[in-house]
């Protein structure tokens, strides 16, 4: 009885090794990703003790006195936190409702372009801003949105405004400025995944729809979108999980004292109160709270996605 079982184990081991050799490049890529995750995500986790201790930077982490939920309770009692949460959810909500949809529309439109060369040029130009630092793009935006900048010149020329508007000096315009500039920078890069998903759609589905008399918009609505529904659901779930994590680089570059009431998001609040003031335990507590709520949002949105579309991360 032992011999067949041992042979079965050898066969399975041989199949596993053969599959590993056939997928060698993919296995290496996956292994490097797991190594990165281990080093930068899991190994630092014991440092969460800072959030529940009175941490002193001059002493080892675990020699700091335990204080329990002191800083977590302080976070929920801070009157300034509410404004930071509203700004975070406001910008995050706009990024989900508008910033998430625009790359999908762009990918659908790009897929409908007939000329392959022109399509590649448009795609390349669209994702180039992704590789430019927010420090550089922020300088451009500050110049373009000033009272004598390009934005006001164009708006005045076309008669859309009567007098110049300094967008970054008016708090009510900051959310829109942040969302639009974020879309401009990341639209092309975010559309790559959707373009790849669209490329995997069976061409016979389009042929059948054309034979049945479906027009271009009908083919997009009834063939393309249902075919990439799973990709959209997965990425939407991940976007929901990151709603509390604003783009720190972008907000930090574009914020100023004039728009502080609308630009102070949780990341900026944590940096100002926790890092600039040297309150490391408090900043770690804020980060821990954000992580817990983000995990809860991820699990909830994943469950909803599974119920509605049959697609989930887990």
Residue range 267-277, pLDDT digits in tens: 999 999 888 88
CATH architecture classification, 51-309: Orthogonal Bundle (1.10)
Q: How confident is the model at residue 4 (pLDDT cuts 50, 70, 90)?
A: low
d(CA 268, CA 289): 15
pLDDT at 282: 93
pLDDT mean over 231-253: 90
Does pLDDT of 216 surpass 60?
A: yes
Does pLDDT of 3 surpass 60?
A: no
What does the domain layout of the chain look like in residue ranges? Answer: 1-43, 51-309
pLDDT at 1: 45
pLDDT > 90 in the chain, percent:
48
- C-alpha torsion angle, residues 233, 234, 235, 236 (rounded to 10): 40
| CA neighbours closer than 13 Å in the CB half-sphere of residue 139 | 4
Render pLDDT for 185-206 as a digit per residue (tens, 0 to 9): 999 999 999 999 998 898 899 8
pLDDT mean over 71-93: 92
Does pLDDT of 308 surpass 90?
A: no
Render pLDDT for 172-185 as a digit per residue (tens, 0 to 9): 999 999 999 999 99
Does pLDDT of 119 surpass 90?
A: no
Tokens (6 digits) for 116: 């392959």
Instruction: Please state whether 113 falls in left (phi above 0), alpha (psi between -120 and 50) or beta.
Output: beta
pLDDT at 60: 87
Tokens (6 digits) for 206: 């389009």
- Angle at the Cα of 261 from the Cα atoms of 259 and 262, rounded to 5 degrees: 75
pLDDT > 70 in the chain, percent:
96
pLDDT at 118: 87
pLDDT at 5: 56
d(CA 38, CA 252): 29
275 vs 63, higher pLDDT: 63
| CA neighbours closer than 13 Å in the CB half-sphere of residue 109 | 11
Does pLDDT of 2 surpass 80?
A: no
Q: How confident is the model at residue 79 (pLDDT cuts 50, 70, 90)?
A: confident
Contact of 80 with 161, CB cutoff 8 Å:
no
d(CA 134, CA 138): 5
Contact of 51 with 72, CB cutoff 8 Å:
yes
Contact of 104 with 190, CB cutoff 8 Å:
no
pLDDT at 9: 67
């Amino acid at each position: 009885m032992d011999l067949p079982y041992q042979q079965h184990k050898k066969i399975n081991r041989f199949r596993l090794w053969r599959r590993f050799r056939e997928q060698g490049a993919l296995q290496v890529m996956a292994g490097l990703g797991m190594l990165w995750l281990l080093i930068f995500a899991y190994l630092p986790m014991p440092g969460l003790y800072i959030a529940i201790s009175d941490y002193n930077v001059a002493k080892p982490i675990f020699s700091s006195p335990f204080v329990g939920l002191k800083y977590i309770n302080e976070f929920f009692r801070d009157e300034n936190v509410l404004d930071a949460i509203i700004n975070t959810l406001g910008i995050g909500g706009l990024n989900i409702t508008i910033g998430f949809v625009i790359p999908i529309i762009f990918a659908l439109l790009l897929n409908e372009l007939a000329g392959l060369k022109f399509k590649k040029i448009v795609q390349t130009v669209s994702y180039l801003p992704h590789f430019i630092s927010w420090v550089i793009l922020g300088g451009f935006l500050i110049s373009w949105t000033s009272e004598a900048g390009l934005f006001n010149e164009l708006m005045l020329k076309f008669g859309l405004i009567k007098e110049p508007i300094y967008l970054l000096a008016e708090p009510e315009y900051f959310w829109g400025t942040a969302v639009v500039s974020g879309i401009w920078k990341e639209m092309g890069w975010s559309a790559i995944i959707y373009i790849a998903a669209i490329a995997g759609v069976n061409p016979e589905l389009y042929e059948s729809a054309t034979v049945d008399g479906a027009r271009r918009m009908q083919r997009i609505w009834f063939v393309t979108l249902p075919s990439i529904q799973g990709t959209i659901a997965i990425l939407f779930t991940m976007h929901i999980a990151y709603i509390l994590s604003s783009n720190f680089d972008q907000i930090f570059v574009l914020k100023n004292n004039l728009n502080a009431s609308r630009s102070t998001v949780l990341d900026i609040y944590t940096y100002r109160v926790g890092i600039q003031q040297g309150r490391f335990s408090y900043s770690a507590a804020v980060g821990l709270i954000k992580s817990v709520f983000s995990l809860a949002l991820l699990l909830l949105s994943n469950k909803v996605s599974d119920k509605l579309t049959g697609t989930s991360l887990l």
